[in-house]
Chains A and B, each alone.
Chain A
Amino acid sequence: MTLLIVSPILFPLLGMLINALFGQRMRERVVGWVASFAVIAAFAASVVLFVQLSQSHGEPLRLTLAPWITAGALNVAWGFLVDPLSAVMMLIVTGVGALIHIYSIGYMHGDPRFARYFVYLNLFVAAMLVLVMADNFLVLFVGWELVGLCSYLLIGFWFQDVKNAAAGRKAFVVNRIGDVGFVLGMLLIFATFGTLDFETVFAQVKVRGESLAAVASLITLLLFIGATGKSAQIPLFVWLPDAMAGPTPVSALIHAATMVTAGVYMMSRAHVLFELAPTTQALIALVGAITALVAGSSALRQVDIKKVLAYSTVSQLGFMVAAAGLGAYVAALFHLLTHAFFKALLFLGAGSVIHAMHAAHGDVDPQDMRAMGGLAKRMPFTFLTFVIGGLALAGLPPLAGFFSKDEVLLAAFADNPLVFVLLGITAAFTALYVGRQIVLVFLGEPRSANAAHAHESPAIMTMPLAVLALLTLAGGAINLPGGGWLHHWLEPVLHEAAKPLNVGLALVFTLIALGALALAWVWYRDAQRARLEVESALGRFLLSAWHIDAVYHATVLRAFYTLSTICSQLIDIGLIDAAVNAVGRSARAAADQLRAAQSGFVRNYGLLMFLGVIVLVVYFVVVR
């Protein structure tokens, strides 16, 4: 029983160990299946735990593995918790994770560091499970940092190209900025409550209530800064588009389906605290909505197939964060779940396209949509699944994305008109860029030799696509409007009332989405427009994501470089190095003078010895 609770973590760790120790000597297939089965086993264990949990009507399962830090008032244990919230996350992580592992066997075929890739991937799954199963803030933070590490390692997986290594570094550094906020939030929690255990903290919040409002605002603000780093929100979202430098399955697993949702999960987990701080919540909702709009509009002009999806991910994360800020945690988690399905599907589909473009020999960038076109005929299966994922993202009924997005919009409609308007515009943009992407990639005529000679990917890559497509088709059913299954399931944790379906709202947004898709078809049937629009001022503005990177360069980075230059030139070279060099030079100068004493003549040395003896004798006989 005790082992069962941690077994979802242990299986991927075991897989990681096997591949790390013996991966070099095993055949590629064996390595891939060891890693995949480790995650499949973790998924099976998660299902068993899920069933147990539903039999006990949501009574959480707890396990304290060992004490970790015991210092004065601070008591932290390796404690794990399986409650309805973490169970849902575990199923997403291991389920989607298993599919992506299997897909990777095909995608990474022939890579010289095949085994290392799966070691990192297994480690990531284990770390993500630590994050969602933690029963206190510090263990959550351990998982939080470990997934950040895996993200860094996998973004820079092809580090031979300096660009990729730089992208990994950027992700790492930007995430650290957020982590500082998270750590400060944790310290404040400890200072306020004297513990980091979720259960104790939340119980105290319920007892002490309003008296904590001020400190809760600060705590939640700091925790939210952590979330903006991990979940790629303004102002720290800049790392996620660059993170596309990693292998595509990694983008699907880490930078779309699981890790980037950690911030949303953390806010849902600590919702008791957030509910005490209406100011922070309003800020969170606004930040989420603005992020959604900025990223959604940026996706409109991207030319890289993965960059579109990357900005789309940031935009959809904005939806989730906005929902969390509005207090609609179920909606946020529901969108998280469906987004995990359809965005993983889209990324894997894009990976399949890139794989095909790469395999067909030609001289174009295999990720440039301007060089694609007409792939629907050559890769019918990928096309079909990609369209399913795309329509779900656009929010067409009855696909999964429709229901979850509708719930978020519903919550905004009821509470916050500004957020509602922002998200509504973003929804229209979403349909537009999805339509643009599908038209540019799959329809029309091939615009390069690569596209003309592309072939469908192998079955090991298309099977996960099929499974994810099915989940995308049917995923909405788990939380039908008006209080679906997910609502009931999360009830013990989130205590949230379900909202009824607003037919008018749903109808309006369906029509908007259809209109935007139609517009995309009209605009981009002739690919010329896609080529030209990037040239315009607006095109450049959106392509560079509102020039935010440039702004950061001009302000934060320039100031930092100036400071570094002062430190290195003036203080390090001018002061410290100069002092050290002076010591070295004086030693050398002294040696130059003293080396004359080493004449090399034995008799000379003898003379000096004799002199020494006489001095000693004089001292002992005459002086003393």
Chain B
Amino acid sequence: MEPTSFVVFLSSVLFVIGALGVLLRRNALMIFMSIELMLNAANLAFVAFAQRWAQLAGQVFVFFVMTVAAAEVAVGLALIVTIFRTKRSTSVDELAQLRG
């Protein structure tokens, strides 16, 4: 087994843990943090492959993912704050008005 394989496996484990966080937690902030974890897991895979093939492109891509994640956090937290103002809650289960 190579180090790259190990890191990619680690990355997929972290990704699944993040996904479970999204699916199991009700708090919008917790869900959000789990999403960050998933993004980070993807970054890890990028860096591992960049190292394996000696390509800087992978690292540059991680850089862009980070900036997009930062933008996402800014908007997402603003949304959560706004929703909290009207709903007095951060539970996503209460935002079910689109029920069919």
Contact = CB atoms under 8 A, between A and B. Distances in A.
Pick the most buried of B22, B24, B97: most chain A CB atoms within 10 A of its CB.
B22
A599 B93 contact: no
Contacts of B26: 603
Contact of A601 (B19, B22, B24, B92): B92
B8 to A, nearest CB: 13
A613 to B, nearest CB: 9
B22 A606 contact: yes
B3 interface: no
Pick the most buried of B24, B95, B96, B97: most chain A CB atoms within 10 A of its CB.
B96
Contacts of A602: 92, 95
Contacts of B97: 600
A595 B26 CA distance: 23
B92 A596 contact: no
Nearest to B96: A600
A599 B98 CA distance: 8
Contacts of A598: 98-100
B23 interface: yes
Interface in B17-50: 19, 22-24, 26, 31
Band of interface residues on B? 10 to 19
A601 to B, nearest CB: 5
Contacts of B96: 599-601
Interface of A is mostly: helix
Contact of B23 (A595, A599, A600, A606): A606
Contacts of A596: 100
Contacts of B22: 603, 606
A599 B92 CA distance: 13
B23 A601 contact: no
A603 B19 contact: no
A590 interface: no
Contacts of A594: 100
Interface in A569-614: 594-603, 606-607, 610
Given A601-B93, A603-B92, A603-B93, A610 B100 contact: no
B64 to A, nearest CB: 22
Contacts, number: 32
Contacts of A601: 92-93, 96
A101 B45 CA distance: 92
Contacts of B92: 601-603
Nearest to B28: A602
A604 B93 CA distance: 10
Contacts of B19: 610
Contacts of B24: 603
Contacts of A600: 96-100
A595 B100 contact: yes
B99 A599 contact: yes
A271 B95 CA distance: 87
A603 B23 contact: yes
Given A606-B22, A607-B23, A599 B100 contact: yes
A607 to B, nearest CB: 5
Nearest to A597: B100
Contacts of A610: 19, 23
Interface in B70-100: 92-93, 95-100
Nearest to A601: B96
A599 B100 CA distance: 6
A608 to B, nearest CB: 10
A603 B22 CA distance: 7
Nearest to A617: B12
B54 to A, nearest CB: 26
Contacts of A603: 22-24, 26, 31, 92-93
Nearest to B12: A617
Contacts of B95: 602
Nearest to B98: A600
Nearest to B25: A603
Nearest to B19: A610
A512 B29 CA distance: 112
Contacts of A599: 96, 99-100
Pick the most buried of A596, A598, A601, A610: most chain B CB atoms within 10 A of its CB.
A601
Contacts of A597: 100
Contacts of B98: 598, 600
A587 to B, nearest CB: 15
Nearest to A596: B100
A49 to B, nearest CB: 77
B53 to A, nearest CB: 21
B20 to A, nearest CB: 9
Contacts of B31: 603
Nearest to B26: A603
Contacts of B93: 601, 603
A602 B30 CA distance: 14
A615 B98 CA distance: 26
B33 to A, nearest CB: 15
A600 B99 CA distance: 4
Nearest to A605: B98
Nearest to A602: B92
B42 to A, nearest CB: 13
Interface of A: 594-603, 606-607, 610
Given A597-B100, A603-B31, A603-B93, 18 more contacts: A594-B100, A595-B100, A598-B99, A599-B99, A600-B96, A600-B97, A601-B92, A601-B93, A601-B96, A602-B95, A603-B22, A603-B23, A603-B24, A603-B92, A606-B22, A607-B23, A610-B19, A610-B23
16 contacts: A595-B100, A599-B96, A599-B99, A600-B97, A600-B100, A601-B92, A602-B95, A603-B23, A603-B24, A603-B26, A603-B92, A603-B93, A606-B22, A606-B23, A610-B19, A610-B23
Interface of B: 19, 22-24, 26, 31, 92-93, 95-100
